[in-house]
Structure 1
Amino acid sequence: MGLDVGGVGVTRGSRSAAPIPAHLDDWERRALDDPNLLGDIGFALGGPFHVMYPARVGRNIGGFRAAFEQARVDGVVYYGKKANKSAAAARACAEHGAGVDVSSVGELTAALTQGVRGAELMVTGPAKSDDLLWLATRHGALLAVDDLGELERLATLGTSAAPARVMLRVLPAASASRFGMTDAEINSALTALEGCGSIRLEGFSFHLSGYDAVARATLAGALIARCLHARTLGHPATTLSIGGGFGVDYVPATAWAEFTEQVDRQWFHSGKSFESYYPYHFPAPGPAMLAAILEHDGLAQRLRDNTIRLAIEPGRALLAHAGFTVFRVQGSKIRHADDVPYCLLTVDGTSLSLSEQWFDSEYLPDPLLWPARPGTPTPTCVGAATCLDSDMLSWRRIPLPRAAAVGDLLIYPNTAGYQMDSNESAFHDLPIPPKVVLHDAAGDRFRWTLDS
């Protein structure tokens, strides 16, 4: 079947990638169905923008809290702030009973500005600066100490009437991570803390790569014994943090299986290939994964029996379905792969707003074309408005429902977690895309403001 794209007849070929449609929340459908909202925002801002819906962050917090309550475990949620700089996300944490995990003076002060109390902060990261340690202790934040030198510096600060609250970060066995302390270093830290009245040891923490619930439950169980040992030395040791790594379910299982089983570099512009992808289908995401961790090997019962609070630090999972990214189509041209034509779009932003590309991977949930109009499915790749061949938002030939025209909006769904701003840059002196916050109004309407 032929279609006309910029005066060129294009036939969809068998080498086009199969669709990978994203799960959409009701609020996202409402925003997409509004005949004016996105177009008006785009006109007002004059460039690409991100949309945040903080009410969804509140729901996600509620889901994790419900998993703790169901397991009858004393649990606390710390939002991994590095996942998104949005002030609205931090405000949602303050409003819905979550703390915030920060790793810099800037992140700490930004969280305080949005109403998160000092005692609700966890401070992580390696070799923290003296300024960060000083500010954290002044506000009563919980510090995850990464090395012995940091512990020594903390002991000499003496900046607060109350002892500094710390956890010791454990290096998991057989891990190649540069973070955390070995068994010998943990033992040295416990010795150093004996009789140290300026530091209060509240527990232990770890972080695991990947999304394995069993591995997290197993290591958490082992750290219960560390807490009990620390108590024999006079430390309270009442908290364990298992970090983040809670999966997010972006796309349906069938679409993900079809892609992973049949993926072919011929589906991609210039025959591009990638070694790995984020697991965009995750059968037990977020709170369901937390429930599985708590159920494994009686972990919830062991935490209750030993009066231990479990802390988690989700970033991506706390932002699941809480935002999307909007680009405007600036140009379109026709390219061919083995004589099969496809569209190559240029949009008014860069792949720095889809950070997966900068980790030599691809952000795979299909973008949506706005406004929705009838048309013929059109295989489409998406390039950025820079002078870099490698700056592609979508190497994969996405089967858009119609040919995109200049001025259309291309919407990448579910980008709030680690996609919007972790690698943002004003390359070419292009402005960094602003964030727009949607607020519910009467009659299913939205009102919008700029993120502070």
Structure 2
Amino acid sequence: MAVTTVTGRPALPALPDPATEALLAGGLLPELAHAFGGPFHFLLPDAFDTNLRSLRGALAAAGVKGFVYFAKKANKAAVFAERAAALGAGVDVASVGELREALGHGVRGEHLMVTGPAKDPHLLRLAVRHGALVAVDALDELDAVITRAFAGQPYPARVLLRVLPPLQPHSRFGMAEDELATAMDRCVTAGDALRMEGFSFHLSGYETGPRADLAARLAGLCRTARSKGLAADRISIGGGLPVSYTDADSWRTFLEAQRPADYHAGKTFRSGDFYPYHSPLAGADALTALLATRPGNSGTTLAGVLRDAGLELLLEPGRALLDRAGATVFTIQGVKERDGYRLLTVDGTSLSLSEQWFGSEYLPDPRLIPQSFEDSEKWAEGAEGAESGESEVPGGTYPASVGAATCLESDLLTWRKIAFPRRPRVGDLLLYPNTAGYQMDSNESPFHDLPLPPKVVIDRTDRTRPRWRLDRHFT
């Protein structure tokens, strides 16, 4: 059901998350904020495990052999690589640092997928040496892999050939049709030094039809490659499984109602600038729908195409594995009155909430957390506010935008005037929900010499009392 405040400003509540609600109820977050003296991220690895099981379940239900790689770029935390290793999943890496991190946290070399354009020679050397699967992006890169494969390597180098999507011909990634033909011939010439395992693509957007069509085309390419004597028994469709952050009614209402007056300084965003924060099919459900889609000119579903061709489906999700796997907490350190709303300053920057740095806005409503249990109880009883003596009105709203602790005019975590249910005060916390996927650290920087927010791993094995530790991120 859509939520619209009495001020007329559309809200965008995050979908319920029992694990986060349990942390809020237990009072752990104010203690962590006091301990660290600054913003922090908390991580919920149980959610990663659940999401991985769901994706595997969708593959099994469709009768499709598959393998899941966690796209490590989505979050730098070590714990997610640890969980992938423990559960026998893979990790998608695109740098020497990511490869070392994955190996260092237990991921087997043959469970690594190496992606990205124009790969560093050292990255290729390590990938070949550890038996990782390399998604080759260009002919010269294929030549570099073959050279390393012949350089005393005891087992074949493993490659996929990355395809330029026909619907995105201006993409800087992948090989066109004539390049793919040349690449297959070079793979044949390489002989036993190289194992060409199939093809891959990455497609922008979340539509199932184009993704199914291109996957079916890759299945046809595998048949062509096999006719040349190549293995070609796997295809990778990359990521592209959406996450739903809010309900359908709230998302529709927000898009219809938002206007410049809802933002600090009349900031404008186009609807197309926003991530689609609601998706009717997300995560494993989106994968199920994709496998049930009939590619164009096919008499069967994508799952049927894969089964008939004897192909294994490789997936490289990031956001979909991190759904509800963490959140970000800031402390309010300043409150200014503006014309009809407040401007909050928190103890961090929008670099730790990355959407702003892509010219967009992270839209799920932040949660206002009182400083202590006592404050929470007084608020529930309708007690008077602390600083100004202004009474808190049960059911009232207190709109505020959220700025960062920097000297940059444009450094706002939330331009939108969030209608909080109580008056924000210095010392209160703001919890931004579901930030593990790409938000936490994609653009983090120690600007102004501010420390990077630590990542706190929450262990809920003992359901009566959550325990925490700092994420082990070795350098």
Q: TM-score range by the shorter chain?
A: over 0.9
Q: Identify unmatched segments of 5+ residues in structure 2.
A: 295-300, 371-375, 381-391
**What are the residue-to-residue correspondences of 1:200-279 with 2, within 5 Å?**
200-275=195-270, 276-279=273-276
Query: For each residue in 1:339-390, what CA deviation from the matched residue of structure 2 results, as whole angstroms up to 9, or x when unmatched?
Result: xx10100000000111110111000000001134334320110000000011
Match in the other structure for 1:358: 357
Assess if the C-alpha contact under 8 Å between 2:402 and 2:413 holds in 1. yes
1:179 corresponds to which of 167, 173, 177: 173
Match in the other structure for 2:282: 285
**What are the residue-to-residue correspondences of 1:44-443 with 2, within 5 Å?**
44-157=35-148, 158=151, 160-175=153-168, 176-197=170-191, 198-275=193-270, 276-297=273-294, 298-336=301-339, 341-371=340-370, 372=376, 373-374=379-380, 375=392, 376-443=396-463
Q: Partners of 1:227 and 1:363 in 2: how far apart? A: 40
If the length of structure 1 is used for normalisation, what is the TM-score?
Answer: 0.94
Q: Which moved more, 1:40-49 or 1:58-67?
A: 40-49
Assess if the C-alpha contact under 8 Å between 1:382 and 1:392 holds in 2. yes
Shift of 1:120: 0.6
Q: 1:411 to 1:436 in 2, by over 3 A?
A: same
Q: Which moved more, 1:293-302 or 1:427-436?
A: 293-302
2:16 corresponds to which of 16, 21, 24: 24
Assess if the C-alpha contact under 8 Å between 1:171 and 1:177 holds in 2. yes
Q: Identify unmatched segments of 5+ residues in structure 1.
A: 1-11
Q: Partners of 1:271 and 1:222 in 2: how far apart? A: 47
Q: Partners of 2:317 and 2:226 in 1: how far apart? A: 28
Q: Partners of 1:112 and 1:44 in 2: how far apart? A: 31
SS of residue paired to 1:72 = coil
Q: 1:349 to 1:154 in 2, by over 3 A?
A: same
Q: CA RMSD in A?
A: 1.2
Shift of 1:13: 7.7
Assess if the C-alpha contact under 8 Å between 1:118 and 1:141 holds in 2. yes
Query: For each residue in 1:13-71, what CA deviation from the matched residue of structure 2 results, as whole angstroms up to 9, or x when unmatched?
Result: 84x52211101321111011112x11111111111000001111000000100000000
Assess if the C-alpha contact under 8 Å between 1:17 and 1:396 holds in 2. no
Query: For each residue in 1:252-271, what CA deviation from the matched residue of structure 2 results, as whole angstroms up to 9, or x when unmatched?
Result: 11110100111111100001
1:43 corresponds to which of 34, 43, 54: 34
Q: Partners of 1:321 and 1:172 in 2: how far apart? A: 31
**One-letter identity of the residue aligned with 2:229:** G
Q: Partners of 1:219 and 1:282 in 2: how far apart? A: 22
Shift of 1:441: 4.6
Assess if the C-alpha contact under 8 Å between 1:79 and 1:314 holds in 2. yes
Assess if the C-alpha contact under 8 Å between 2:12 and 2:364 holds in 1. yes
Q: Partners of 1:397 and 1:426 in 2: how far apart? A: 27
Match in the other structure for 2:387: none
Q: Partners of 1:193 and 1:105 in 2: how far apart? A: 25
Shift of 1:416: 0.1
Percent of aligned pairs sharing the same letter: 53
Assess if the C-alpha contact under 8 Å between 1:293 and 1:299 holds in 2. yes
SS of residue paired to 2:459 = strand
**One-letter identity of the residue aligned with 1:58:** D
Moved over 4 A (4+): none
Q: Partners of 2:468 and 2:255 in 1: how far apart? A: 38
If the length of structure 2 is used for normalisation, what is the TM-score?
Answer: 0.90
Match in the other structure for 2:298: none
Query: For each residue in 1:209-243, what CA deviation from the matched residue of structure 2 results, as whole angstroms up to 9, or x when unmatched?
Result: 01111111111011111000000001000000001
Q: Partners of 1:191 and 1:227 in 2: how far apart? A: 13
**One-letter identity of the residue aligned with 1:408:** D
Q: Which moved more, 1:381-390 or 1:268-277?
A: 268-277
Q: Partners of 2:11 and 2:25 in 1: how far apart? A: 21
Shift of 1:442: 3.1
